Amino acid sequence: MEVIGMNSLNDLKNAASRFVQLMGEKKVFAFRGSMGSGKTTFIKSVCKELGIGEQITSPSFSLINEYTSPGGNPVYHFDCYRLKNIKEAYDIGAEEYFYSGNICFIEWPEIIEDLLPPDTVNVTVAVKENGERELTLDR
């Protein structure tokens, strides 16, 4: 288990850089945390650290956003908040993305737990009383 702390938005770049170092060969990351905890903001920063030059936006309405890494590989960003059940995830082919060998960042993974690969890294974003964020990676 690894913990990354962020005292303010000024720490975001360093935290994202540390996260990229910790990713290693892992490809699927399930982000958990309350509404407004900063999951999307952090994923945007990680994508920038990965060298993705295109605009990173929240997939709240599209469910999946696809970006291109500098090496030409896709990076998938999911927001499963609006999914009503696991069948909807099957309908959009979520399982194919998760087992594609490409990086997948998944927000609100709770409804699709059964589709996630066994080596998925769980990332919990917690907001402390003083507003600081703490990311815990459970590998």
Task: Render pLDDT for 58-89 as a digit per residue (tens, 0 to 9).
Answer: 888 789 999 999 999 999 999 999 999 999 99
> For residues 42 and 128, is the Cβ–Cβ distance under 8 A?
no
Single pTM value for the model: 0.94
In tens digits, what is the pLDDT along the chain, a chain of 139 residues? 999 999 888 899 999 999 999 999 999 999 999 999 999 999 999 999 999 999 988 888 789 999 999 999 999 999 999 999 999 999 999 999 999 999 999 999 999 999 999 999 999 999 988 889 999 999 7
The per-residue pLDDT for 139 is 74
pLDDT at 121: 98
Nearest to 31 by CA among 120, 115, 97, 122: 122
Q: In what order do the strands lie in the sheet with 2-6?
A: 2-6, 133-138, 121-127, 28-32, 103-107, 74-79, 64-68
- Give me the CATH topology for the region 26-131: Rossmann fold (3.40.50)
Report the pLDDT value the prediction gives residue 10, as an integer from 0 to 100: 85
